[in-house]
A and B are shown apart, each in its own frame.
Chain A
Amino acid sequence: MKRSVMILILPTLALLLILAIYPTVYLYYMMFQSFNPLIDLSPYFVGLGNFVTFANDPEAWYAIGIMFFLTAITVPVQVGLGILLAMLFTSKYLQGKLLIRSLMLIPMSIPAVIVGLNWKMIFFTYGPLNMLLQSIGIPPQPWLSAPFGDPFNVIFTLAILDIWQWTPYVMLAVASGIESVPADIREAASIDGASEWKILRHITLPMVRSVIMVIALLRLIDSLRIFDIIYMLTFGGPGNVTTTLPFYIYKVGFTLTAAKANIGYAALLSVILLVMATILVIFTLMRTFKVERLIWG
C-alpha cells in the first residue's frame, strides 16, 4: 500500500486498535484471573476457575436466557408492526407522508435513557396508564414491580419500551424499500386488475424481503446491547428478573453488587457475550450484507 494511502487510514486504525483490539486481548487475559477489588489487592491466576464458576452459576444462565427471551419478544413485534405501519404509511391515498415520517423519527432519535424516563412516568403507579385503566374499571397495576401478578412479567414492560423506540426504524426502512420498487411494475399489475392489497402482498413485499431480513438481523444484534432502559426502569429487578447478560456483566464487573462479583469472571462473561454477538454478526455479513458489492459494486 502506498504511504499516502496509509496516512489516510492510520489514525482510524490506531484508534480502533486501542479501543477494540487492546480491550479484547485484555479480556482474554483477564478471564483466567480472579480479582475482586473489594477483597483482593491484585488479580491472581485461577486457570479455568471462572469457567467452573460460570458452569455452576444459575444467574448467568438465566441472564443469557432472559436476554434472548427479551429479544424473542421485541424483534418479531418490531418487525411485524414495522411492516404493517410501513404498508399503511406508503398508501398512495395518505396525505402528509413526509410529516408523518418526521414525527415517527422522534422515538428513535431520543436517547434511550430519556425513553426510560418517559415511560417511567407512564408506568408510575399513579401515572396516566393506571388512571386510564381505572376509568374503565381495571384496578391499577404495579407495572414495574409485579404486573399481572408474576414479577417475571416486568420483562414485558421492558419489551414495550424497546418496541416503542425501534418499531419506527423498521417502519421507515421497509417504507423506503417499498418505495424503491419501480412504479411501473405496480402500475402494470394495477392495469391487469390486481387490487391495491394484492399488489402489496404479492409483488411489493416479496421485493423488499432482503430489506426486512437485514433490518431483523440488525435489530437482533442491537437487542443484545439493551442496557439503558433496564438501568432506568428496573435496575435488573425485581430480584434479578430483568438482569440480562449485559446488565449481569455490569453487576458482576462494575458495581460489584452481584453475589459472584469478580472482574475476572466479568471478563469471561464479556467474552461469552462477544462470541455470541460475533456469531450473529458473521452470519449477517455472510448471508445478507455483501460488503464487497456495497462498497465497490
Chain B
Amino acid sequence: MKRAHLLTIVSTLVCWLIVVLYLTPFIWMISTSFKPIGEWATAELLPREPTLKNYFEVLVTGGIYGVRGHFPPIGRYLMNSLIVSICIALITSILGAMTAYAIVRFRAGGTLFANWILSLRMIPAVAILYPLVVLTRAIGLYNTIGGLILVYPIVTLPITTWFMIGALKNIPKETEEAAMLDGCSEWEVFYKIVLPQAAGGLATAAIFAFLFSWAEFLIPLLLAPGEAAMPLTVFAAYFSNQYGILWGPLAAAGVVISLPVIVLAIAIQKYIIRGLTMGFVR
C-alpha cells in the first residue's frame, strides 16, 4: 500500500512536470502578450509589470504604442474568420451528414465512393489550388468570403462525412424502417428521424469543420490575399513578417487567434482522435 502511494506521488509529479515543460513555448507566448515593450526581449517567464496594452492595441486601436498606421486592429479579420468558419461549419456538417447517411444505410457509391472521400482528406492542397484560383477568378469569387466558402469544403467535407459515418452507423435502424413503411421518403426519414437522433454528432462534426476552417492558411493565402476576405491566419503571417519583433502585440494576436479553437477542441476532446483518424481509433 505504501509503495502504491509513493508511486502515485512520483508518477503524478513527473507527468505534470513533463506537461508543463512541453507547454512552455505556449506559456511563453501568453506571458509575452502581457509584457510591456521593455520586457519583450528578456528571458523572464513572467512579466514584471503585466499590461493589457498589447491586447488593447491588437483588438481596438491598431498601431503600436500610440503610433497608428503600423497595423490595423484585428476586428475585421476576426469577422472574416468567424463568418467563413461558421458558414463552413453549418454547411459541411449538414452535407457530411447527408452523404454519410446515404453511405451507411444505402451503400451509395459503394466502397469506391467512401474510399475516394477518405483519400481527399489526405491530398496536399497546394497541388490543386492553382486551378481553383483560376476558377474563383473566372466566376468573380476571387478575394471574397464567398470564394473561401466555396473552396474550404475540400478540406472539411471529407472530415465531417467520415465523422458522421461513425456517428450514424450506431443509430438503430428500426424507427427508420417503421417510418419508411409509413410512406416517408429517404429524405424525410433523414431530417425527421435521423438528424434529431444524431444531433450531438452533428454538433461535433460542425466543430471539427470550424477548427479546420479557422486554422486554414494556404487556401486563403492564395485565394483571398486582399483585405476584404483575409482571415486571421493570413493576417498573422503578414503582420509577423512585416513587424517581426513586435513580440507583445504579436503574442497577443496569437493568443486571441488560438483561444477560441483551444476551447472548442477541449469541448470535443472525447471525439478528437476519432475525428482525426477518420474513425480508425475510437
- Interface set of A (CB-CB < 8 Å, partner B): 1-2, 4-9, 11-12, 15-16, 18-20, 22-24, 26-27, 30, 85, 88-89, 91, 93-96, 100-114, 116-122, 124, 126-128, 131-132, 135, 164, 168-169, 172-173, 176-177, 180, 211, 214-215, 218, 221-222, 224-225, 227-228, 231-232, 246, 249-250, 253-254, 263, 266-267, 270-271, 273-274, 277-278, 280-282, 284-285, 288-289, 291-292, 294-296
Contact = CB atoms under 8 A, between A and B. Distances in A.
B236 A274 contact: no
Given A114-B236, A121-B250, 18 more contacts: A11-B95, A23-B129, A27-B131, A93-B12, A108-B265, A109-B266, A113-B237, A114-B233, A164-B25, A169-B273, A227-B126, A227-B218, A231-B217, A231-B221, A254-B129, A273-B126, A291-B114, A292-B111
A81 B103 CA distance: 37
Contacts of B67: none
A253 B4 CA distance: 61
Contacts of A254: 129-130, 222
22 contacts: A1-B108, A12-B161, A19-B132, A20-B128, A23-B130, A91-B15, A93-B4, A94-B11, A108-B265, A113-B237, A114-B257, A117-B253, A118-B254, A121-B25, A121-B28, A228-B218, A274-B127, A274-B128, A277-B123, A289-B280, A291-B118, A296-B107
Given A9-B98, A295-B165, A96 B12 contact: yes
Contacts, number: 293
The majority secondary structure among interface residues of chain B is helix
A111 B186 contact: no
Given A111-B215, A222-B122, A16 B117 contact: yes
B99 A8 contact: yes
B52 to A, nearest CB: 19
A117 B254 contact: yes
Contacts of A104: 19, 22
Contact of B119 (A4, A12, A225, A278): A278
The majority secondary structure among interface residues of chain A is helix
Nearest to A214: B280
A215 B254 CA distance: 28
- The number of chain B residues touching the other chain, given as a range, is 35 or more
A292 B113 CA distance: 11
Contacts of A282: 119
Contact of B157 (A16, A24, A131, A292): A16
B117 A27 contact: no
A2 B106 contact: yes
Q: 9 closest pairs, A vs B, by CB?
A: A131-B43, A109-B265, A111-B215, A23-B131, A26-B131, A270-B127, A23-B128, A4-B186, A8-B102
Given A121-B250, A222-B122, A176 B281 contact: yes
A118 B25 contact: yes
B136 to A, nearest CB: 11
Given A27-B131, A254-B130, A254-B222, A127 B41 contact: yes
Given A9-B98, A16-B120, A127-B41, A118 B277 contact: no
B32 A121 contact: yes
A19 B272 contact: no
